[in-house]
A = this chain, B = another copy of it.
Amino acid sequence: MSRVLYELAAADPDRRFSPFCWRIRLALEHKGLAFEGRPWRFTETEALAFSGSDKVPVLIEDGRPIAESSVIAAHLDAAYPDRPSLFGGAAGQALTRFHVAWTDQVLHLALVPLLLLPIHRHLDDDDRAYFRRSREARFGKPLEAVCPDPEAQLAVLRKTLAPVRAVLRAQPFLGGDAPLYADHAVMGAFLWARGVGGPDLLEPDDPVEAWRRRMIERLGEGSRALASG
């Protein structure tokens, strides 16, 4: 089977940084499914039009496109039940929605102010103009004014991670003894930061940092190069 994952890329095509694309890359590696990761940029909507989606991740399996990270993850687990589960069963899948929702609605919100300028710096010219325009509209101010006090925002981020930290004090992964999709969802945020050379987010003695390193060590060979900051 041919399998292609469209992933958000910076000017350097090996700089992949979308947290939603990273989730699916980690999920594909988790399932042991070979794939080609194809770089895609914000403004390349025509290149993606065939899929019916205007944003990534989009996974193409034998020509059939599947869009939206949660839909792709559910598809992968249902279509390949003999490979390691992303959710650990039906209850795990239902419970994982909370980890994903918290990542999307809480963790990302605490992180994005720290990443706007690093992202902008790494985009190609067309994407850079699009990114500034769309994000300045969203935040209602110039990119440079969104995070006037990065140290304070870093403190917010670390405080936001309190419930993740509590879990990782009790067990090595959010999924227990080994990662599940819940880990991949949260880890996507850290690979987003890493992909654009963002600041160090965690104290060295933070249990979340120890977990982040464990997750980095588990990256497939092809992903290690893409994730380098």
Contact = CB atoms under 8 A, between A and B. Distances in A.
Interface in A74-118: 85, 87-99, 101-102, 104-106
B94 A91 contact: no
Interface string A123-139: 00000000000000000
A163 B94 contact: no
Contacts of A170: 97
B163 A98 contact: yes
Given A91-B176, A104-B163, 19 more contacts: A88-B91, A88-B92, A88-B95, A89-B92, A91-B175, A93-B176, A94-B171, A94-B173, A94-B175, A94-B180, A95-B95, A95-B99, A95-B175, A97-B171, A98-B163, A98-B164, A98-B167, A105-B163, A106-B162
Query: How extensive is the interface on chain A, given as a class?
Result: 20 to 34
A186 to B, nearest CB: 9
A106 B177 CA distance: 25
Given A105-B163, A162-B106, A174 B98 contact: yes
Nearest to A176: B94
In the complex, the count of this chain's copies comes to 2
**Max chain B C-beta neighbours (<10 A), residue from A90, A164, A171:** A90
Interface of A: 85, 87-99, 101-102, 104-106, 162-164, 166-167, 170-171, 173-177, 180, 182
A102 B161 CA distance: 10
A97 B98 CA distance: 11
B174 A94 contact: yes
A173 B93 CA distance: 12
Contacts of A94: 88, 171, 173-177, 180
B176 A90 contact: yes
A102 B160 CA distance: 10
Contacts of A162: 101, 105-106
A171 to B, nearest CB: 6
Given A88-B92, A95-B88, A175-B94, A101 B182 contact: no
